[in-house]
DNA sequence: CAACCTGTTCGCCA
DNA sequence: ATGGCGAACAGGTT
């Protein structure tokens, strides 16, 4: 599920544990989500550690403890939950940090998500080397133009999903950006007019800003005037012109767009 | 039972 | 070396 706004929403679920000590760590032994992370070290160093702060960037999150850093990526089905101190971990609760009176839970059925740990004071390189946020200065029109030129042969839909330039944008956000920019998702990235590239830039920023404001706050629904609320229903209609929306697989993902508005 | 899924990574090929 | 694509990952839901 999680794209930019949802990730921010989940990050805040653990805010209740800020400045509090972890009393116990429960891990699911061979969970794929840990990948190369040493679960034994994670459990040992986080037991007794205090949660000092957290940050989200794109689809990634980092939680800072006084003994190290916990990185979280939610993949397709991951979620962060706040549970009671008596929480009995379910079969998909791969990482559970117990505190006095609460439990901070990472749950992920499909295990495409990932949890990693980095011991010590200094930020891990997998965090410092992440892509610049869409809402940062570094996400310039020039940077977008260069990126589309380099990926000139790929459909623009597929390019918008590339986290190295559009961190946080996922399937529905990419469709939303292209719908607002009035660009067909099948169009090759290298064939966009300068005005279209400009639109990809500004609409990416708009959709990210609004997703954070609307979904990131309390998981409210975006307005009905957004494509997002119409894209999964069979026979959904374009909220701008009323045309029946088209669905097809582009860039390996189900894509929804308006063939009348988007050229 | 089969198809589908808001993500990433890998291997193959051009 | 670089870019583009399809498969694989795993399990719940429709």
pLDDT, tens digit, for every residue of A38-47?
Answer: 999 999 999 9
Distances (CA, A) of A244 to A87, A224, A237: 46, 15, 4
Q: Which of A8, A11, A59, A203 is catalytic?
A: A59
CA pair distance A193, A199, nearest whole angstrom: 10
Residue at minimum CA to C1' distance from nucleotide C2: A150
Average pLDDT over residues A107-120: 96
Say yes or no to pLDDT of A210 above 90: yes
Question: Are residues A37 and A68 in contact, defined by beta-carbon separation less than 8 angstroms?
Answer: no
Average pLDDT over residues A194-213: 98
The share of chain A scoring above pLDDT 70, in percent, equals 98
A253 is known as an active-site residue: yes
Q: Is the CB of A251 under 7 A from strand C?
A: yes
pLDDT band at A137 (very low <50, low <70, confident <90, very high): very high
Amino acid A109 CA to nucleotide C12 C1' distance, rounded Å: 8
Average pLDDT over residues A186-195: 97
Q: Is the CB of A146 under 7 A from strand C?
A: no
pLDDT band at A235 (very low <50, low <70, confident <90, very high): confident
Q: Is the CB of A233 under 7 A from strand C?
A: no
Query: What pLDDT, on a 0 to 100 scale, did the predictor assign at position A195?
Result: 98
Say yes or no to pLDDT of A168 above 80: yes
- What is the dihedral sign for C-alpha A77, A81, A87, A93? positive
CA pair distance A244, A54, nearest whole angstrom: 42
A3 is known as an active-site residue: yes
Average pLDDT over residues A130-142: 97
Q: Is the CB of A152 under 7 A from strand C?
A: yes
Query: What pLDDT, on a 0 to 100 scale, did the predictor assign at position A31?
Result: 77
Q: Nucleic chain C: which protein residues 175-204 of A have CB below 7 A from it?
A: 189
Question: Are residues A115 and A37 in contact, defined by beta-carbon separation less than 8 angstroms?
Answer: yes
pLDDT band at A33 (very low <50, low <70, confident <90, very high): very high
pLDDT band at A233 (very low <50, low <70, confident <90, very high): low
Say yes or no to pLDDT of A7 above 70: yes
**Residues across chain A:** 263
Say yes or no to pLDDT of A231 above 90: no
What is the DSSP secondary structure assignment for residue A229, as one 8-state letter? G
Say yes or no to pLDDT of A1 above 80: no
Q: Taking all residues of chain A, what is their mean pLDDT, rounded to a whole number? A: 95
What is the DSSP secondary structure assignment for residue A22, as one 8-state letter? E
Amino acid A154 CA to nucleotide C8 C1' distance, rounded Å: 21
The share of chain A scoring above pLDDT 90, in percent, equals 92
Q: Is the CB of A149 under 7 A from strand C?
A: no
Q: Which of A12, A64, A240, A253 is catalytic?
A: A253
Say yes or no to pLDDT of A232 above 80: no
A210 is known as an active-site residue: no
Say yes or no to pLDDT of A15 above 90: yes
Cβ burial of A235 (10 Å; 0-12, 13-18, 19+) is exposed
Strand B nucleotides, any atom under 7 Å from protein beta carbons: they are 4-9
Query: What pLDDT, on a 0 to 100 scale, did the predictor assign at position A153?
Result: 97
A2 is known as an active-site residue: yes
């Amino acid at each position: 599920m999680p794209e930019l706004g949802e990730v921010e929403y989940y990050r805040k679920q653990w805010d209740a544990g800020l400045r509090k000590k972890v009393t116990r760590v429960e891990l699911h032994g061979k969970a794929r989500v840990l990948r190369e992370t040493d679960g034994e070290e994670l459990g040992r160093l986080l037991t007794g550690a205090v949660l000092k702060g957290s940050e989200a960037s794109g689809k990634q999150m980092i939680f800072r403890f006084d003994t190290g850093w916990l990185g979280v990526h939610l993949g397709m089905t991951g979620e962060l939950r706040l549970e009671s101190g008596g929480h009995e971990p379910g079969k998909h609760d791969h990482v559970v940090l117990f505190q006095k009176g609460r439990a901070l839970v990472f749950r992920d059925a499909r295990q495409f998500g990932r949890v990693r740990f980095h011991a010590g004071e200094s930020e891990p390189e997998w965090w410092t080397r992440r892509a610049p946020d869409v809402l940062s200065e570094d996400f310039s029109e020039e940077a977008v133009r260069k990126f589309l030129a380099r990926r000139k042969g790929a459909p623009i839909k597929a390019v918008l999903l590339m986290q190295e330039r559009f961190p946080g944008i996922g399937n529905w956000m990419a469709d939303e950006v292209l719908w607002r920019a009035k660009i067909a998702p099948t169009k090759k990235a290298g064939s966009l007019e300068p005005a279209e590239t400009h639109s990809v830039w500004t609409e990416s920023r708009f959709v990210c800003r609004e997703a954070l404001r609307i979904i990131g706050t309390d998981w409210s629904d975006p307005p009905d005037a957004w494509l997002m609320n119409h894209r999964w229903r069979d026979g959904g209609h374009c909220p701008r012109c009323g045309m029946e929306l088209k669905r097809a697989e582009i860039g390996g993902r189900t894509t929804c767009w308006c063939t009348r508005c988007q050229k």
